[in-house]
Each structure stands twice: as structure tokens, then as C-alpha cells.
Amino acid sequence: MAAEILINVRPHETRVAYVDKGILTDLKIERKTSPTMVGSIFRGVVLRVLPGMQAAFVDIGLEKAAFLYVGDIREDLDSDSYPIPDLDREEPLEETVFDEEGIPQKNENKTPIQDLIKEGQALLVQVAKDPLGTKGARLTTHISLPGRFVVYLPTIRHLGISRRIEHEEERDRLKNLVQKINPLGGVIVRTAGEGASEENLKSDVDYLDRLSKEVLKNYDKKKTPGLVHQEIEVELRALRDLMNEDVVSVWVDDAEIHKKVSKFVTQLMPKYKQNIILYEEPKPLFDLYDVELEVSRSLDRKIWLKSGGYIVIDEAEALVVIDVNTGRFVGKKDLEDTILKTNLEAVKEIAHQLRIRNCGGIIIIDFIDMEKESHREKILDGLKEEVLKDRGKVNVLSMSSLGLVEMTRKRTRPSLIKTLCEPCSYCDGHGYIKRKSTVANEIFRELEREIDMIDNSKSTFAVHCRSEIVDWIYEFEGKTLEHLEKKLKKSVTFKIEPSYHIEQYELFIKD
């Protein structure tokens, strides 16, 4: 069974699933109320330069200021902040280290930020990361425009080849073709560019060069912070990035979007235009291959493995912690064999979950402790092999003596849980609430603090709280309450407040 792309369209939400051999391997969800800004280009104005952090806050016309790190600032910005330098076409195209989206992987910029930009300065900037949690969007002045086969970099004169293209002969062929085309700006050949002809590459470069000139015109026209160029919609972006020889069909369940997608594919990759199919069956599109079930499963904290073991995934703002457990799996041979099989099964599920959930940042995996060094190496090698399937940039480090693996995964957009869920309104995102006994003892301690607050011997205390707390006190803490009333020399009454949170209570003095 070959790969398929499913595009599910609703008035306020579009979802794109990439299904390979009947298994969901990639998922993109975008809501009309909060579309991604990654790839969009803005005219920004520097609000504040922070030398101590070597960063700056930039107004790009959004509610929250964006963040620009010194390593993401070009050193060739002139005093007038002209966004696109006059590149010398005679300067040779040399290979450099950029990722496939055109972001520098290593930046040797050692010039202090205060010598590069100043407050009030206008900049042409591109969003590299969506706002995540309390952080604003992350920006870069290294503008990149992705096409079908290449990413065009109008501000530099460099050449890059996707690391996923491994054969040296093909890398050399592509490098020679790009040098022959001799583009005005820099070019990174994407993974989809493997096997592309000179005509394909030149067509992509020419289109993106025209687009960069249009971006510059829009920048010059716009005199206030705001959007200059918006990245294309999620359904088109997904086809641009995911469409390949393995995809036999693209199903779209909306007639209008089907026309839009068909036109896009016909213009950009005409050989795939017959693969675009309007889905008109009564069965929901995402019910094919149980995609809906898989999405729901990826929102759970605990994921069961087929053997009976399970993994637990906890996601913080910049950290993901994964714990592996044997659960109900008891094995057949010995303990070490049982542990190895559970960890091996967990490796595949963890890599799969990270892709579907779009988890990013620092990831810590707590595998079940293994005594044999060969088993640890097998797990680490298996994890490195599995993450090669990930389209995101993943870096797996070594395993510690405790069985902990550190890894990182590049994240530019909010995770699946951040997109589809919100913090629990009752526990306020803590994931837990205080026990009734804890709240009861807090009330007792608060009463003790009020001993000196009442002079009138006829006064009494009234505690307003939930009925569950009152029931707990009378059933389990009756003697404590009686002892406290003797100590206070006051009586304590309770009033039920059904609207209160279970942790909420108030003390009142009644004369």
C-alpha cells in the first residue's frame, strides 16, 4: 500500500494527514482563528535592544512583541536598513550550513547586537517560530522563500544541498546545476529536488526570485509594522512539502478546496494533477485508516504498547519527558529480555508520537534500566534509525548509566496538545487538585491564626466552603474540630457554597 494525503476541510479548521502504508505518519492542523505565522514576512520596528541577552524585541504589528536573537541578524544590514543587499553575481556560490527551511544551523556572528541594530530601526524579518506559551514569535533577518525543489535565500549568496540527499554523485550534480543557473541569491536544494532537471530547478529559482522582488516592493510601500508576505495555506503548504513519488492519491473532502489544490498542483507539479481526487463518500475522510482514532490516541498521556507495556508522555513549555514501563508485559524468557523487548517497542512508538504530536525542544526519555551495554547500544541505535523518518530536525545524544536519553527536536509551531487542548479550568493546568484532608487542615490552620482577632466572646467563626470539605471534616476530623473550638473558645459553623472551587474557602466572623 502506497502513501496517501488526506485533506479534511471545515469552515474553521483544516487538517492534513500523511498516511504511509495505512499508518498516520504526519499530521498538520490549522485553525482559521490562529493560523501559523512561520514563513510569513513582516516589516518590523526594533522596540528595545537588550545587550545583556544579546537579543531585541521587535514590533511586527501583533499584540505581543516578537523576539530577535543576535545569531539571527545579518551583519550586512546598512544604516538605512535596506532589506535586500545588492549581491555580487560574480561572487561564487559556496556551500554553507543551513537547514532545509533556510535557517542557519550555526552562526558565527560575534558582533554585539548593539552594534548591529538600534531602537526605532526598521527591519525586514521573517517568522522562524510561532509564539509558544508565554514567548512571542521568534524572528530572523535571513529571509527564505520555499519552492517545490529549492529554498531561495535573497539576502545571501550561498549554496546548500539537503542532507537527506545522501549520494555524493547526485549532490555534485545538483551543485553543478545550481552554479550553472547562477541565481542572484542563495539556493538550498530540498529533498524533493533529488533527481530534478535543470529546467525544474531554474523554473523554481526564477519564480522565487520574482517573489522576492514583490516582497521588497511591499516592504517599501508599508510604512508601519505589519505583514508584507503571508505563507500559503496549510493544504497547499503540505502538498508543496509532502508530495512525492510515493503519494498515489490526495483526497480532498471539500469541492472548493479541491479546485484550489488542483490548480496549485497543476501549476507547480503538473505530473501529479491526476492524483488529486474529490472525496464524496458519506464516511468521514479521517475515519479512513482510523486516522481520527490515532489523533485521539495522541492526546492521551498514557500510550499502551501492543505487548502490554506503556509509555507516559508529559509535555512542559520547553521540555518533554517520556517514561517507559513494562506494564502488563511479563515476557517469556528472563527479566533482561523482557526489558529489552519493551524498550525496543517503545522506541518505535516514541518516534511515532513525537512526529504526530509535533513535540519539540528538549526531550528526555527514561527507558527501563538495562544491565547489558549491548542492549543500551541497540536501543540508542534503534532510536536514531527511527527518527530518520522525521521531517523535523532531530538530534539524539548518548544514553546515561540510568537509561536516560537526551534528544532535541526542532519545533516551529505549537504541539498537537497545545493546538487542540487548553489547560483544565478546574485544576488550572496543574494536573491535580488538593486532597480534601489538605483543604480541611488549611482551614484549621487559618482558624488558629485568627485567635487574637476576636474580642467579643459571643462571636463565632463561619467557614464558607464546598460540601465535600464539610462532610470530610465531620466524618474524619470531628475530634480535631472539637479540639480547635475549645482552643478558640468559639464555635465554628459551616456554610455550603456549591459554586466554590473545591480548594476555595473563606472565613467570616459572626457576632
Same domain flag for 466 and 492: yes
Q: How many CB atoms lie within 10 A of CB 263?
A: 13
Domain boundary among 191, 207, 230: 230
Chain segment 114-146, per-residue pLDDT in tens: 999 999 999 999 999 998 767 889 999 999 999
Same domain flag for 354 and 475: no
Residue 218 in any domain: the answer is yes
d(CA 340, CA 320): 23
The b-or-e profile of 416-443 (16+ CB within 10 A means b, else e) is bbbbeeeeeeeeeeeeeeeebeebbeeb
Residue 75 in any domain: the answer is yes
pLDDT of the residue at 283:
93
d(CA 40, CA 170): 31
Domain boundary among 293, 308, 329: 293
Residue 444 in any domain: the answer is yes
Same domain flag for 48 and 170: yes
Same domain flag for 81 and 173: yes
Predicted confidence (pLDDT) at residue 500 exceeds the cutoff of 90: yes
Among 422, 408, 294, 400, smallest CA distance to 359 is for 408
Residue 466 in any domain: the answer is yes
pLDDT of the residue at 88:
59
Chain segment 301-350, per-residue pLDDT in tens: 999 999 899 999 999 878 999 999 988 776 667 788 889 999 999 999 99
Chain segment 199-234, per-residue pLDDT in tens: 999 999 999 999 999 999 999 999 899 999 999 999
- Number of domains within the chain: 4
Q: What is the CATH number of the domain that holds 8?
A: 3.30.420.60
Domain boundary among 274, 293, 312: 293
Q: Which helix (H) or strand (E) holds 152?
A: strand 150-153
Predicted confidence (pLDDT) at residue 102 exceeds the cutoff of 50: no
Same domain flag for 210 and 244: no
Residue 365 in any domain: the answer is yes
Mean pLDDT, range 265-276, rounded to an integer: 91
Predicted confidence (pLDDT) at residue 490 exceeds the cutoff of 50: yes
Residue 351 in any domain: the answer is yes
d(CA 309, CA 302): 10
Q: What is the CATH number of the domain that holds 187?
A: 2.40.50.140
Residue 426 in any domain: the answer is no
Same domain flag for 53 and 188: yes
41-50 and 23-31 beta bridge pairing: unpaired
Same domain flag for 69 and 213: yes
Residue 430 in any domain: the answer is no
Same domain flag for 186 and 51: yes
d(CA 429, CA 369): 31
List the single range of 2-11, 32-41, 84-93, 444-453 with lowest mean pLDDT: 84-93
Same domain flag for 160 and 56: yes
pLDDT of the residue at 414:
86
Q: What is the CATH number of the domain that holds 468?
A: 3.40.1260.20
Same domain flag for 147 and 184: yes
d(CA 465, CA 126): 52
pLDDT of the residue at 79:
47
Same domain flag for 274 and 175: no
d(CA 52, CA 113): 10
Q: Is the dihedral of CA 285, 288, 290, 294 positive or negative?
A: negative
Same domain flag for 149 and 280: no
d(CA 254, CA 13): 12
Bridge partners (DSSP) listed for residue 320:
315, 363
Predicted confidence (pLDDT) at residue 451 exceeds the cutoff of 80: no
Tell me what percent of the residues of the chain surpass a pLDDT of 90.
64
Structural domain boundaries enclosing 249? 3-34+235-293
Q: Which helix (H) or strand (E) holds 145?
A: strand 145-146
pLDDT of the residue at 85:
63
Please answer whether residues 246 and 56 qualify as being in contact, where contact means their C-beta atoms are separated by less than 8 angstroms.
no
Q: Is the dihedral of CA 329, 333, 337, 341 positive or negative?
A: negative
